[in-house]
Amino acid sequence: MKPTIYDVAKKAGVSIATVSKVVNNTGRISEKTRSRVKEVMKEIDYSPSSVAAALTGKRTFTIGVLVPDIANPFFAEVARALENHARMTGYAIILCSTDYQREREQDYLELLLKKQVDGIIIATEARDWKVFKKLLDKNIPLLMFSIDHPSFSSHVVTTDDIRGGYLAGRYLLDNGHRNFAVIVEENRESGRLRLEGFKQSLMDAGIELSDSFVVFSKSRVEEAKKAAKQILALNNRPTSVFAATDLIAAVFMNEARKANISIPEDISVIGFDNTIHAEIADPGLTTIAQPTDELARYAIHQLLESIEKPNSLPGHRIMLAPELIERDSVKNLN
C-alpha cells in the first residue's frame, strides 16, 4: 500500500516526529538527518496524506466553489481563474455546479461541510439566506462571488454591476441611440443591478425606459432565443439592445440575422461579460468586460485571509470596475 510516515521513519532509522519535521520544515534538525530522510522519501516515493494531516486540526487545503452552471462561459472563466489562483497557494478546488437548482446547492453545501473544506466561494444566486447563516454559525469562511445582498456579513467580491449597466447605457446614448430594449437575466441580483445602472444612464439623459422594452431570460440558448424573438416582434422596434450577458447577446444577434435584420445596421447590440462569445461573434460584440482574473485574485486572497485569521474583520465588499470593450456591434447614429 501507500507508504506512510512510519515506513520512512523505519527505513531512515529515525522517529516519525523527525520525519514530520523535515516534511513540514518545522523544528530544528541536523542537515545530515534531513537529507537522509529526504533521500528515503524519494526512494520509497512517499507522499504525505493530507487526509491524516487535516484530522489533526490542520487545514484540508481545499475550498468549495459553487457556480450555477459550469458550462456557462462566464463561470467557466471564473472557475479557471479561481482555480489558478488557488493552485498557486496550494489549495485545491471542489467544483459544484448546481444547475440553478436550490436543492443541489443545499446538497453540495452539506457535502462540503462533511469534507471540511477550509472555505467556500459562492457564485450561485440563492434565495435562502438562512442556509448561509448556518454556515457562518459553523464559522466556516464564506465569500460571495459576483453576488451580493445587504444581509451578507461575509466578504463579497463582485463587479460593479450598476456601473456596468451605466457604461452600457452611456455608450449607446453617446452613439446617438434613443430607443432601447434590455434583456435582463432572471433571478440574478446582478441582472437587476445592471438594469438599474442602465436605466440610470438614460434618466440622466432624461429618457425613461418603458417596461415593455424589458424582457427576462436566463443565460441559456433556448430562453435567450425566446427573449430575442420577443424583442424582434415589438412593433416599434428599438435601435439598440442591451443584453445582460454575452451569450444572450450572441443569441440575439443570431435571431436577428435569421429575421433579416442586420447588426449593427438595423439594430445595435451591447453585451456583458466579455466572454469568448463576444470575441467570436460577428460582428464583434461590444460589451462590458468583467475583470474576471482580478475578481478571482481578490476572492482567493480574501478567503484565504479569513481562513488564516478566523473571526476577525467583518466582511469587506470589494467591487471592481467593469470596462467597456468596443467592437463593432453598435452603430453610431450621429
Partner DNA sequence: TTGTAAGCGTTATCAG
Partner DNA sequence: CTGATAACGCTTACAA
- Provide the grid cell at 201: 444612464
- Provide the grid cell at 180: 432601447
Nearer to a second copy, 31 or 45 (CB): 45
Residue 31 beta carbon to DNA: minimum distance, rounded to whole angstroms: 7
Q: Which residue has the cell 448561509?
A: 132
Nearer to DNA, 33 or 254 (CB): 33
Nearer to a second copy, 16 or 276 (CB): 276
Neighbouring C-alpha atoms within 13 Å toward the C-beta of 83: 13
Q: Which does 316 bind (CB under 5 to 8 A by kind): a second copy, DNA, none?
A: none
Spacing of C-alpha 140 from chain mean position: 19
Residue pair 246/275 in contact (Cβ under 8 Å)? The answer is: yes
Pick from 57, 206, 310, 314 the residue near DNA by CB under 7 A: 57
# binding residues, a second copy (CB under 8 A):
56
123-152 mask for a second copy (x: CB under 8 A)?
-----------x---xx-------------
Q: Judged by CB under 8 A, does residue 68 bind a second copy?
A: no
Pick from 221, 234, 321, 333 the residue near a second copy by CB under 8 A: 221
Q: Which does 30 bind (CB under 5 to 8 A by kind): DNA, a second copy, none?
A: DNA
The rounded distance, in Å, linking the Cα atoms of 192 and 164 is 12
Degrees, nearest 5: CA angle 265-201-294: 90
Residue 293 beta carbon to DNA: minimum distance, rounded to whole angstroms: 32
**CA R_g for the chain:** 25
Among 203, 245, 248, 213, residue whose Cα is nearest residue 228: 248
The rounded distance, in Å, linking the Cα atoms of 186 and 116 is 33
Q: Judged by CB under 7 A, does residue 250 bind DNA?
A: no
Q: Judged by CB under 7 A, does residue 27 bind DNA?
A: yes
Please count the other Cβ atoms lying within 10 Å of the Cβ belonging to residue 22. 20
155-194 mask for a second copy (x: CB under 8 A)?
----------------------------------------
Strands of the sheet containing 180-185, edge to edge, are 214-217, 180-185, 240-243, 268-273, 286-289, 323-325
# binding residues, DNA (CB under 7 A):
32
Question: Where on the chain is the footprint of DNA (CB under 7 A)?
Answer: 1-2, 4-6, 13-18, 20-21, 23-24, 26-30, 32-34, 46, 48-49, 52-53, 55-58
